Structures are given as structure tokens and as C-alpha cells.
Structure 1
Amino acid sequence: MATVDLLSAGARTRSRRTPSEFDGRGPLASPATRPFRYRRATAAGDLLTGAVALVVTAVLSRSRLDVAVAVGAMAVAWPLVLTAKTGRADRLFGVRNTYLDVLRALAAVVAVLAVAGALFSIPVLGTAFLVAAAILAGGSIAVRLAVRRKLRRLRALGRATRRTLLVGPASGVAAALDRFAQDGEHPLSVVAACVEDDGTEPPSSVPVVGTVVRGLPGHDDALRDEEIVHAVRLAAQRVRARTVCVTPGSEFTGDRLRALSWMLGDIGIDLVTDLGLSDVAPHRMGLGSMGSSVLLHVKQVRPTGLRLAAKVATDRVLAALILLLLSPLLLAIGVAVKVTDPGPAIYRQVRVGRDGLFFTMLKFRTMYVDADQRRAELLDSADGDGPMFKMRHDPRITRIGRLLRKYSLDELPQLVNVLRGEMSLVGPRPALPEEVATYDGTARRRLAAIPGMTGLWQVSGRSNLTWSETVRLDLRYVDNWSYGDDLQLLRRTAKAVVRSTGAY
């Protein structure tokens, strides 16, 4: 008969772990802290924004009392409208789209105000209205950005997190811990695990406070459901968890998962499930239903149609402007390379582009002219892993080449590749043919996008990254592409270049 070995597992755990570990001081956990009141902070900011808009409206509409009252009513109602429009922020993960939520609220307020102005013959669409609308929208967006930045900083320090119990087979718990560890911002602080015995050794990084023995043939399913749901409840209460996360491969599916949600909901504990998906951005996920089933739709976001046209147009226009503005600098660098070392100023190298097509990539030459011939003798001294050749102190690099590489100035000629359509400003790192020849099916997915001058790999460590980390970041970009992310990566690139992190 199947049993739930909760107490004996707990005893074994106590014998090898200190009490402090149950307070959330494990590798992925943090001490108990006061929760961060996201909604309260944004509501307070919206009230302040509305008050500022009200004062400005009163000053600008002194000659028209009716206009002042109408626009002032908009400022007063603004916090209430925003609460109604954006008050459904997830308790664990916050809101998805800051700008869209605020703009939707503004559209609703403007529509009501325009109708009211038409009914009562009040010319509301004037200077006072435009200024008030700008203050309300801009102020609320700034408030949310500031609050989200504060929340990210707290979570990076292990604060403002929710104590979480992982539930699932030992292998599923270990895999979930690995996926959670890849992100520096942890909304969930894993304090313990309740493991379903699948014959795998439980992970040592968190305390195991319960073990569920998997069912045997002929056992009463209804009784077993009650037993294991109660076991998870006891484990969660023991470590004072505020969230229970069910990992892939768990026995908690269907009606059993629903029963667990009922029991945890009755005692104020949230339930989340880890689907095992990695690096899928929220904007790609959609929830739906069919019959009594809840379905998750993972959308494809490869740029096509208007989105591809917008990306290409942005690339070409910005590349042309940058080339025009930096032409004196480019000329000076070319002369410096030519004068300090014999050989061409521009280095041409065959790289692999989108869908495996070859192209010639341009760079300022940073190595001696015989660098390619000397590469074979340096393979044993490479610092990197995988097919990429990386060497922190490469003897083939010239003196001026080190300076150019430090600030990524050697890559500026690639703007010409962008103008030709062979590269993009943002995309995966362009690979060498010999590197692509060693790719497995996962790494080959990098070729689904146009290679870029910068990308997640450059703002996340560049040459300091391992091969697996580089592939993971490139695939995250390819799979989750959005136009807004491209603009954000361009902004982050400027900081990474100034700091010269990982450049060699």
C-alpha cells in the first residue's frame, strides 16, 4: 500500500541540516522579509501624478471655469481609472506591459471627457487638456518604471520574494532549481522541497521536508489523493511557505492538482506550476480553454511582414546616420591601423548569416596579417569552450588592436554590412563556417535570425560567456524577438561598450 513518508523524511532532513536553512537561507532562498507592496506603491504614485496634473490644470484654465472643472475631474479620476485598468497585476510577477496599460487607461479617460465635452459644449481639447494628459500618462509610466526597477533591485538582493516549496520528482525539482538559478531576479525564494520518490537522489541545495511515495497498483485513488495533498499542505506549513510550485513530471495533474489548489487556497498559499519551458517571454504566451481544459499557446515571433519591414528600415536608417556622423572617426581609425602596422586597414572574413547563407563581414584589422595562419598553433591555449576560439591574451593582436577591441571600435565597419542587409544592428553573433559545421540541432537555431552587431550576448558578458551561455542567450533572442527589445538592447549596448566588460 502506498504511503506518505512525510514525518520520517522530515526527521532525516533535520539530522543533516541546520534550523537556519528552514528560514530561507539556502542557495536560492532569502531570509523572510516584508513583502513589496507593488500595487500600493503604484497607487501612491498615481495619486501624486493626479495632484500635479490638477494643480497645473487650475493654473492653465483660470479664464475658463468649465474647462478647469472638466480637465480637473480627469485628473481626480485618473488614479481610480488606472486602478481599474491595471489593478489586476499578478501577485507574484507584477504586470506585463507598463506602457500599454497606462495608454489604455488614458484612452478611456479621453473618450469619456470628449463625450462629456460634446454634450455640455465645453471645449476641453485645448492646451490645459494636452498638458494634463501628458503629465498623467508620463508620470504614471515613470512611476511604474521606478517601482519595477526598485522591485528588481530588491529581488536581486534576495528581498521582496515569496517563500516557496517545490513539489515534484527529485529530477524535476533539481531541473527547476537549475532553471531558476539562471535568473538574477527571483520572485520566488525556494526554501524547501517535497519530493516524489522516483528513485533519484534528492537535490542537496535545498532541504527536503517531505517525501511522497508514488502510488502502487490497486491502491484507492481517492484515498491517495487525500493523503498526498495533505502531505504537501503539512510540508508548506512547516516551512511557512507562501507559494507552492509544482515541477514537471509531478503526480499533481488534473483533478489532483485542482484539489491541491483548493486546499492551499483555503490557507492563503498560492499555487504555481512549472511547465518546464525555458526562455519563453511572456508576450509569446497566451492562455485559452477548450472544454474543461486550460491550454497554453506558445506563439512564434519570427519577424515577418510589417514587423520585418520595421526592423529592416530601422537598421538601414540608423546605420546610415551612424556612418555619416562617425565618418571622421572611421577615417582616423583606418589611418591609425594602416600606419601602425603593415597591411590592410579593413579585415574581411567569411561569416554565416541567416538560414546558413555566407557573407563577407568587415572589421578594422586588429591582428597581425599572419593571424589566420598562426591560429592553429594557439588552439591548445584557448580560454573558451565549445567551437568559438577565444583567448584573453592573444599574441596576434596589435597594440592599437587591443584599444579598438576594448571599446568595440573594430566592429564599426559592420555598419556597411547592415546597409547591405547582410547583418542587423541587433541579432545573434555572426558565426564562422567552421563553427557552424560543429553545431547540433539546438545551436543551428541561431541561424534563423539575421546576425547582429550587438545582442544579448554582448550586453551579458561578451567573451566572458561560456559557449552554452552564448547559445542560450542567442536562442532567447531568436525565439522571443520584439521590436521594443531591439531598441532596449541598443541602449544597453552603449553602457556595455563604455564599460568594456568582457572585451578582448
Structure 2
Amino acid sequence: MRDQLGAPRRRPVILRGLSANRRLPQEPSRPPVGGWEPRYRRYVITSDVLVTILSAVAVGGLLSVGGAALFKDLTLGFLSVVSVICSLAVNRAWHPTVLGQGAEEYVRLSRGMFAGAVALGLAGLATGVVSTRPWVFIVIPATAVVALLARYLLRQLLHRLRYEGECLLPVMAAGGVDTVRDLIARTKAAPHVGWRVDAICTVDGEGDSGMEVDGVSVIGTLDELADHVRRGGYRIVAITADPYWTPRRLQQLAWKLEGSGAEMVVAPTLMEVAGPRLHVSGVLGMPLLRVSAPAFTGVRRFVKGVVDRIGAVLLLTVGLPVMAFAAAAVAVDSRGGVFYKQRRVGKDGKEFTILKFRTMVRDADRIKKDLADANEGAGVLFKMRRDPRVTRVGAVLRRYSIDELPQLFNVLTGAMSLVGPRPPLPEESARYEADVRRRLLVKPGLTGLWQVSGRSDLPWEEAVRLDLRYVEDWSLALDAMILWKTFRAVLGGQGAY
């Protein structure tokens, strides 16, 4: 890392402490096992504890009037701190496997805060102390919000280091050459996950071109895997698909890896399903991976609908000045109406009229036929990076997705959701294959996984995969994560044209 003058750029103190790997000299072939993991965990625990204590002290001082009240509120503050910290520990909010990636970290933190509030509230009911109410309904929820923000900032620091090639977990990949190659490609495409494949074991100890697979060395056979893991100090042992792996061999490998400090991860190859639909249970003495049906109705969907409408009202209230300014700019910039109405396909194939701010010249749909040869979109999509139909104001509105704000009215009417697959045109959906039509099982969204993963820059196949993943693995926590990431994607203007 160097600045514009060529001098080394100094890291923030917290980054220098996190990335420093203080370890004894090792053999050259031994992958580096950093000490950043326990340090990062200490940062997270310290952050949660400090946020909880400072919130209790600050609110306790505001609620106190007089010496007796001060003592009483400080006592309640102490009890709330103890309740929250114990609840976080019980809910395993600081477990190393959930820190730094995915929605599970935030879910466990929220669950711990909620459990702490419930415990304090029940204690107040049992003792008849009504003054616990401000702590249960104000202090702990506010603490949860600040703690979530602190976790997010720490995660961003960790991800920044990982994109620079630091704070990565050394991985030993073991399986077929093709499946190992796919794993390597995925780890390189998503460095924020923190995996770095350092070595490979295959059935015959060979790769696709000599002793390498995509630049990673093949160091042995699958029979020698456990010995290589113990000597190399790998943090993750990733098992990919290969006929060699039988239940007996996987069980024996798990036994051999006990005490090595390595975590064995087995990639299921049946289908691309994850999240709350996967459950492991023992039946007849056999470990079975249960895949529950995706939830398209029920209480969670009702909650999602309520959240959609409340969120749409709040966003419309906050965004009203921006929408008024955008409407005026569209009207002044070019001739035509302020709004653009278009038929789109929603849940179960039902058509509805979508609302947007007009970003193109009049008769843009007619001109589209003349631009068919210049189409840069993948699959059934029509996209152009420099579309001549887009107005000057329209280009700005598109870059920051301001043109899509009127779709909040579609959310209010129930035709759309805040989060969901992209709403297709009727001519696009008519060309869908059977598997792609599963996108229509849920309401289309104002934003989605496609929005936070590249937007228009995504190839068609990847956009479909992300939408299908959302349909299959939907959860309220995933919605919250997508909404949060949407703000970053919109502010950056990445992939918008």
C-alpha cells in the first residue's frame, strides 16, 4: 500500500494490530496460521461490552433525579449490562465461525440483545419493579442498534484487509480436480469470506496440468490428507465432490483431524440451497441433511408484507424532497411526462404497472427496435452502457437509482416488495425456461441480490442464479442484509446504466 508519492501508506492502528501475525519461524511449506482470529474476536467482544456499558451509564445518568434515583438507576443499569452480556454469551454471538461474514453474526447479536431485554423484563415483573421498562424498551434496543453498527464497522475493516490478501484462513482443498477448481474460483471471487486455498489433495496426487490446479499446488493424495493437514497447519479442510469420498472415509477423516485445529467443511453437491432451509438431524443412526420447502406463505411472509409497507411509507416520507427535485429536473430537461409507466410481471405471473421517473426521450420504446444490434445485455435483457435514448438528467437518476423511487408506491399497493427478484418485462418472462420461472414465485423487489452484486454488470446466468437463490433461501435476516448493502451499492453507482 503506497500513497501517490510512492511512500508506504500507514495503516490505522486497529488494522496494524489485526493484520500482524506474531508467530514463530515455520517451515517454508507450512501455510501461515495467523493470530488475527483471537485478536479480532477480542475486538468484537470489547466493542459489544463497551457499547453496552456506555449506553447503560449514559441513559442511567439521564434517567436519574437525586441520589436515591441515581443509585436505583445505576443498579438497573448494572443488571441490564449483566443480562445483555450473559445473553450474548449464551447465544454464541462471539463464536469465531460466525464473525466477519454472513447474516448469522447479526442474527445472533440481535437474538442475544432481545433475550437480554426479555430476561430483564421478566425480572422486573417478578420483583414488581416497573422502572425496568425504559431499560427494556429504550436502552437495550438502542444498545442493539449501536452494537450492530460497531460490528459492521469492524467487519468492514476485516474485509478491507482480506481484499489486500491478509487475515485469510489457509484452506486445504480435497476432492476432484473440477470441483476443487470451482472452489478456488469462488474463493478468489469473494475474498471477503476469508478463504485462501493454499494446497490441494486429489485421488492420484495430480492436477489438471502437472502438479497444479489454477496455480495452487497439489501436494498429495486423498489417503495422505490428514497427515498433510497436521504438518501444514491448515485452518479449513474443504471436502469437494469426488467418488472417493464415502461415508466411512469421511468419518475416518474427521477422527484423524481431531485435535489438529482444522475445521472440516463438506460441500453438499445435491443442490445450491443454503440458509434456514437446511437442517441436519439424526435418523436411524444416520446423519441426514433435511431440505425444507421454501416458504412462500405463512407468518414470515405476513411479517415481510407489513415491513414492506411500513418501510415504503418511511422511505417516501424521507425521500419526498429528493423525489420533488427529481420530478422538476425531468420536466425541465426534456419534453414528456415526469413519470414512465411500464407493464411488468409480478408474483405468479400477474402483470402490473411499474412507476419510474422518466430517464429517456419520448418514444424510447419505438427507438429500441433500431438499437437491437447494439444490445450489450445478456440473456433476454436489453442493456447499453451508452444508450442514446437516456437524457442528461436521466443518466444521473439512473446512476443513483433515484428513478426507481416511485416504485415505493408499487410496494404500498402490494404489487412489489422492498426486496425480491428483478421485475421482468412480459416479453422477457415469455422466454423464461421452467427453472427461471421460479423467480415469479415471490413478489419482485425494489432491490435484491442482483442489485448488491453488480447490477447491470452481471452476466445473465449470474443474475438468474442470484434471483433463484433468493427465492429458495429467503429470510428476514437476508432481507435486512440486502437493504443495508443496497445503500452502499447505490451511493457507489456501481453497475448502473
The answer to whether TM tops 0.5 is yes
Which has the higher Rg, Structure 1 or Structure 2?
1
Which residue is 2:37 aligned to? 36
Measure how far apart 1:392 and its partner are.
Answer: 0.7
Query: Separation in 2 of the partners of 1:490 and 1:420?
Result: 20
Which residue is 2:195 aligned to? 188
Which residue is 1:404 aligned to? 397
2:172 partner SS: strand
- Provide TM-score, normalisation by structure 2: 0.77
* Contact 1:170 1:197 (8 Å CA) reproduced: no
Given the alignment, which residue of 89, 92, 95 partners 2:97? 92
Q: Deviations over 1:88-140 (max 9, x none)?
A: 8544344642210232244345545765x46xxx8874778888756876676
Q: How does 1:134-283 map to 2 (within 5 A)?
A: 144-197=151-204, 201=208, 203-212=213-222, 228=223, 231-276=224-269, 280-283=273-276
Which residue is 2:351 aligned to? 358
* 1:390 partner amino acid: K
Measure how far apart 1:503 and its partner are.
Answer: 1.9
Q: How does 1:459-478 map to 2 (within 5 A)?
A: 459-478=452-471
Does 2:96 match 1:103?
no
Q: Deviations over 1:303-328 (max 9, x none)?
A: 42333333333334444565566667
* 2:181 partner amino acid: A
Aligned length in residues: 459
Query: Separation in 2 of the partners of 1:398 and 1:63?
Result: 67
* 1:163 partner amino acid: P
Query: Separation in 1 of the partners of 2:326 and 2:71?
Result: 64
Cα 1:108–1:294 change in 2 (3 A) is farther
Measure how far apart 1:277 and its partner are.
Answer: 6.6
Query: Separation in 1 of the partners of 2:122 and 2:255?
Result: 41
Question: Please, which moves more after superposition, 290-299 or 124-133?
Answer: 124-133
* Contact 1:243 1:272 (8 Å CA) reproduced: yes
* 1:74 partner amino acid: L
Question: Please, which moves more after superposition, 343-352 or 323-332?
Answer: 323-332
**Amino-acid identity (%):** 35
* Contact 1:341 1:368 (8 Å CA) reproduced: yes
Query: Separation in 1 of the partners of 2:195 and 2:281?
Result: 25
Does 2:291 match 1:294?
no
Query: Separation in 1 of the partners of 2:350 and 2:168?
Result: 46
Query: Separation in 2 of the partners of 1:188 and 1:151?
Result: 13
Question: Please, which moves more after superposition, 57-66 or 253-262?
Answer: 57-66
Cα 1:129–1:306 change in 2 (3 A) is closer
Q: Deviations over 1:183-237 (max 9, x none)?
A: 332333211110124998363331111134xxxxxxxxxxxxxxx2xx1123224
Which residue is 1:8 aligned to? none
* Contact 2:277 2:293 (8 Å CA) reproduced: yes
* 1:81 partner amino acid: C
- Provide TM-score, normalisation by structure 1: 0.76
* Contact 2:205 2:221 (8 Å CA) reproduced: no
Given the alignment, which residue of 412, 419, 426 partners 1:419? 412
Measure how far apart 1:493 and its partner are.
Answer: 3.0
Which residue is 2:277 aligned to? 284
Query: Separation in 2 of the partners of 1:413 and 1:126?
Result: 39
* Contact 1:71 1:129 (8 Å CA) reproduced: no
RMSD between aligned alpha carbons? 3.9
1:164 partner SS: strand
Measure how far apart 1:390 and its partner are.
Answer: 0.9
* 5+ residue gaps, structure 2: 1-25
* Contact 1:352 1:431 (8 Å CA) reproduced: yes
* Contact 1:428 1:477 (8 Å CA) reproduced: yes
Which residue is 2:86 aligned to? 81
* 2:34 partner amino acid: T
Query: Separation in 1 of the partners of 2:318 and 2:359?
Result: 23
Which residue is 1:13 aligned to? none
Measure how far apart 1:368 and its partner are.
Answer: 2.8
Cα 1:316–1:434 change in 2 (3 A) is same
* 2:233 partner amino acid: R
Structure with more contact order per residue of length (Cα contacts < 8 Å, sep ≥ 6) = 1
Query: Separation in 2 of the partners of 1:503 and 1:53?
Result: 40
Query: Separation in 1 of the partners of 2:469 and 2:350?
Result: 21
Query: Separation in 1 of the partners of 2:240 and 2:97?
Result: 17
